[in-house]
Structure 1
């Protein structure tokens, strides 16, 4: 399953990350967007949001940490699996990755690289947990992305602060297999 997800990501080098209804509709209208990261919602509307994505034949990955009403506990993963058609989850919480994998969901472990300590922990933590992919934020750091891609056994998505074609190309040429962005102008490059 992991290999299949990585192949899908490689075939979709730009991932639409949506933070509201307007972004959701724009992402669905954008040709070439096969994967949508859902960065908003609550327990009352997440099923509808995911259903809208799935109706269009897209892959829906829900950022579980950003869904209002859910907690950082395994039951939140159970809720997403049982009540939506989501293909996978994004989280910064390692324990949720393990449970999501047990349930057959795709997994994206998100890291914020804010200092050298965070950078040091990426390889150690991702090799223990083995998410399908890791997402590095901010993604507009080619030197850091290259360093992580050279040491990580887990494929990388670059996210955050990707604002134009140069950022996309720099991230991809530095070892990221894809980028994620809320910038709808980048979705259509």
Structure 2
């Protein structure tokens, strides 16, 4: 479980790959972890092997992988056969199952308003993922609130444009920043 945290101590920027044409750039970047936001049943094992060969952490967003059922069997198959370092999901039931299967688990939340914030905090208190990713990631006050109320490490993502966004997130208490913005990967 400490693998993720060891890697973000080296570099808190996480390369979020939402287009496989960007995978090579992510593999060559200084980012120690990769959030895979695309892929399918046919290419996931190869992607996993390529990431492992570069000694980077691979965290698969299970909700976004094509060709797998978003249920118990699909999740178990990915964990046991594709060997990611962890799972990302927006689904509370998959957080629990992923943890039960021994996988490092990141619950992802899209925060649109106060109601989604309150529901998200309540969900985190019951599911207790290893980390939470909140989107959009440019809300320092919200980062502080979530961390204080749940004591769960916060990752920010979405709308991260530059070094100032990164620094604001880190200063607010985020442990890492995920972004598909390649310019930010090299900060």
Pair in the same fold by TM > 0.5:
yes
Measured after TM superposition, the shift of residue 143 of structure 1 is 2.1
Matched, 1:20 2:16: no
C-alpha separation in 1, matches of 2:78 and 2:21:
22
Q: Deviations over 1:22-43 (max 9, x none)?
A: 2110011112x11000000011
* Partner residue in 2 for 1:62: 60
Matched, 1:159 2:150: no
Q: What's the TM-score, normalizing by structure 1?
A: 0.94
- Listed as ranges, the gaps of 5+ residues in structure 2 are none
Q: What's the TM-score, normalizing by structure 2?
A: 0.95
C-alpha separation in 1, matches of 2:4 and 2:47:
21
Asked if the contact 1:54/1:85 (under 8 Å) is kept, the reply is no
- How many residue pairs align between the two structures? 187
Measured after TM superposition, the shift of residue 100 of structure 1 is 1.1
Matched, 1:114 2:112: yes
C-alpha separation in 2, matches of 1:131 and 1:8:
18
C-alpha separation in 2, matches of 1:149 and 1:99:
23
Stretch deviating more after TM superposition (16-25 or 110-119):
16-25
Query: 4+ runs of 1 displaced by more than 4 Å?
Result: none
Q: Deviations over 1:118-147 (max 9, x none)?
A: 111222111211100000000011222222
Matched, 1:146 2:147: no
* Partner residue in 2 for 1:74: 72
Q: Deviations over 1:127-176 (max 9, x none)?
A: 21110000000001122222222222111000000010000001111111
- Listed as ranges, the gaps of 5+ residues in structure 1 are none
Provide closer, same or farther for how the CA distance between residues 29 and 4 of structure 1 changes in structure 2, counting only shifts above 3 A. closer
Root-mean-square deviation (CA, aligned residues, Å) is: 1.3
Matched, 1:44 2:68: no
Q: What SS class does the counterpart of residue 16 from structure 2 fall into?
A: strand
